[in-house]
Structure 1
Amino acid sequence: MYAPTFNVFVTGFGPFPSGDGGQFSKNASHEVTKLLPSKLSARSSSNPGNADINIINPTSGEGAYVKTEYKFIREYCEKLHMENDDAIDLFLHVGMAYGWDFVSVERCAYKEVMTSSWAKNWKTRTGYYTTPDDSGKTVKDLGPCPWDDLPIGLSPCLDIDATIDGARLALQTKHAFGKQKETVPIVIKQHEEAGTYCCGFIYYESMAQRIKKGKKPNVLFCHVPGETDQLTLERARDAIVAVIASAANQLMQNGW
């Protein structure tokens, strides 16, 4: 008897400005996607569920990453959800957060008109996504916002806390019985929002495209640490695999 199949689409970002005149020429999110397996077999150490999980990972190729440009991201998300209307069961976007030593699962993202006192440089901001992207543009250069009829904040159709609990358990089990280089797995925890730059932008755009089509926003966003040494990348990869398996099994338990 064949196991059912669950399809997960993963993306990672490319280079982006460091904010001090420099450039992050290597984005850890792209490097992590390069290490992801193409399949998580059912009832395995990485996937305790009853369905095989296919990981569709087209941005992992050299130079195939999602560009950190607002225009590119908006067009990419529109095409992504047009071409994969019902073929994909979960969309997972991955970005990097320099200075973090954990993997986050983000609770929500905000529309470009959002302002908040917790955003960096909030006193001079006129909204989110106004930090220049890799092409020197901001969301203001894209013209009118296409999401006037949608809420300022969007969240996915998954229970973030349950996703994290399942991922932590899977990661701890794997480390307890596996041959990991580190005895303690990387920390996975929730984070309140995906941010005011391209990470938050792709999360909102991706969920908005789903809602626009009358679909559930089966979308997640994770941040991985910014370091690109092999050990950090492998630990982040293991965490992303655990999040994928946990989220997939949650969606299947809820009727898929």
Structure 2
Amino acid sequence: MGDYGPASNHSTEPSLATAPDISVLITGFGPFKTNLVNASSLIAKSLPGSFTFPGPGPTDRRVILHVHPDPIPVAYSSVRESLPVILNDFATANQGRRPDLVIHIGIASPRLYYSVEHLAHRDDYNITDIDGRSGYEDGEKRWKELGLPPILCPGKAFVAIKEQNDQRSHKGPKSGPYPPEGHFLETWKANASSGLDLRISHDAGHYLCDFIFYTSMALATQQGQDRNVLFLHVPGAAEDADVERGREITLALIKAMVTCWIDEKHCA
């Protein structure tokens, strides 16, 4: 499961003054229910192996994209079992390092816009997956036993539960790099074509999208790592033009994550 393929540079060569490379792990989902083709995996597979864009000061940023080659089955047990393996394979191939950033992509078929999720839920995964199972045994029960909070948001390691509750009610501080808020959204939009409908969402849906988002942040929390994780919801349409649009929006999102969560945090 660890073969991500070689990273190729689809942009101009970096300048002589370069900042350290940024690694990004990206996953998409497989088909489920009436969605015989899942646009999320098509968008993930359309991404380049790497790209370069201006970084802070005189430096350039080279971003290496590691797209997991297999769509993740839309099943709670599959997410619970496969995500730790995917992250472990990444670390094994990268001298023990976790990816700097993680993006999970999934579809929200009724939506016509693209949304980044602000938070993930621990409980109430009652909608059955492709195996006909709910998410209680694979998620809520285990997470409660580990003492994890009802809500996890992108953020620094070991954020207090009180701060999690503040973020849930949207009363938390807005000036920092976490979680994605107004400044993050504007940075995302600035890196994409004008007129695209990009939003921040506060309801990931209590299904597999929400589940993998919480799983990913829970693993980072247990390992004492920053939760540099986002979930991107895309429309369900899977024509070539839709995939190309999703590709552009995902690349713009990665640039926003690097700018807001890495460069601006280190400059603060």
TMscore range, shorter length = 0.7 to 0.9
Q: Residue 43 of structure 1 corresponds to which residue in structure 2?
A: 54
Amino acid at match of 1:152: P
The whole-number CA distance in structure 1 between the counterparts of 2:203 and 2:76 is 18
TM score, norm. by length of structure 2: 0.75
Equivalent pair of 2:87/2:98 in contact (CA under 8 Å): no
Q: Distance in 1 between matches of 2:154 and 2:242?
A: 27
Partner of 1:34: 45
Q: Are the structure 2 counterparts of residues 43 and 143 from structure 1 closer, same or farther at C-alpha, using a change threshold of 3 Å?
A: closer
Deviates more, 1:128-137 or 1:204-213: 128-137
The one-character-per-residue Cα deviations of 1:38-70 (angstroms, maximum 9, x if unpaired) are 1121339xxx973101110023xxxx1011010
Give 1:2 shift: 5.3
2:142 to 143, 146, 155: 146
CA RMSD of aligned residues (A): 2.1
CA–CA distance in structure 2, aligned partners of residues 81 and 138 of structure 1: 24
Question: For 1:95-244, what aligned pairs fall within 5 Å after superposition?
Answer: 95-112=106-123, 128-142=124-138, 145-148=141-144, 149-157=147-155, 158-161=178-181, 162-172=183-193, 184-244=194-254
Structure 1 residues 145-189: Cα deviation after superposition (integer angstroms, max 9, x where no partner): 2222111000002341232211101113xxxxxxxxxxx542111
Change (3 A) 1:143 1:239: closer
Is residue 80–residue 138 contact of structure 2 (8 Å, CA) maintained in 1?
no
Distance 1:86-1:143 versus aligned 2 partners, 3 A rule: closer
- Farther-moved stretch of structure 1 (96-105 vs 199-208): 96-105
Contact 2:125 2:135 in 1 (8 A): yes
Query: Does the CA contact (< 8 Å) of 1:16 and 1:134 recur in 2?
Result: yes
Query: Relative to structure 1, is the Cα distance of residues 238 and 49 closer, same or farther in structure 2, using a 3 angstrom cutoff?
Result: farther
Question: What is the CA-CA distance between 1:141 and the residue it aligns to?
Answer: 4.5
TM-score (norm 1): 0.79
Report the alpha carbon displacement of residue 210 of structure 1 after superposing the two structures with TM.
Answer: 0.4
User: Residue in 2 aligned with 1:177?
Assistant: none
Runs of at least 5 residues in structure 2 that lack an aligned partner in the other structure: 1-15, 156-177
Distance 1:241 1:74 in 2: 27
1:16 alignment partner, SS class: coil
Return the alpha-carbon distance in structure 2 between the equivalents of residues 34 and 142 of structure 1: 28
For 2:216 and 2:22, the matched residues in 1 are separated by: 19
Q: Which amino acid aligns with 2:43?
A: V
1:65 maps to which residue? 71
Aligned length: 218
